[in-house]
Amino acid sequence: MTIAEWCVFGTLMLSLLTIVSVKWAGFRSFDNARPRDPDFYDDPIRSRALGAHQNGIETFPFFAFAVLLAEYRDSPQRLIDELAALFLIVRLAYVLTYLGNRPTLRSILWSIGFAINLGIFLLPSIRGYLTS
């Protein structure tokens, strides 16, 4: 597996760990029979963790597809790997700013992550201009 493919896996795990961590931390008040109970997410940190988790689920398909497309279309693997690792780092920072209630920085990081993802997606289109 390539580094980029491991980053796809890491991005998926990050989105899952974001919500699992608050469920574990609130194990006494979390009812697994009612996992979507809105009362559990009344706590501000839990609410932000849910938001970060949902955003992770929303961004994952485009990232995974972009990586696979770039690899399938023979874009420079080293560049794909570097951009995918950068995306994962930005996503981690995004989650931390979401949990830390830093909305402006969070939006900036989301935009950077989207630009990185777009760059991976467009690599097949510009690979002729890149040196290997």
The whole-angstrom separation of Cα 84 and Cα 27 is 34
Nearest Cα residue to 29 out of 17, 18, 42: 42
Give buried/exposed letters for 64-101 (b at 16+ CB in 10 A, else e).
Answer: bebbebbbeeebeeebbbbbbbbbbebbebbbebbbee
Segment 87-116 mean pLDDT:
98
- The residue count of the chain comes to 132
DSSP-based three-state secondary structure for 30: coil
At residue 39, the pLDDT reads 85
Count helices and strands (H / E) in the chain. Answer: 4, 0
At residue 131, the pLDDT reads 64
Residue 132 confidence class, pLDDT cut points 50, 70, 90? low
83: its two tokens: 């951009």
Higher-confidence residue: 132 or 104?
104
Domains along the chain with CATH numbers: 3-26+39-127 (1.20.120.550)
Residue 37 clears pLDDT 70, i.e. is over it: yes
User: Taking the model in full, what pTM does it have?
Assistant: 0.91
How many beta carbons lie within 10 A of that of residue 18, not counting itself? 26
Return the percentage of the chain with pLDDT > 90, whole number: 77
pLDDT in tens, 60-99: 999 999 999 999 999 999 999 999 999 999 999 999 999 9
Residue 31 confidence class, pLDDT cut points 50, 70, 90? confident
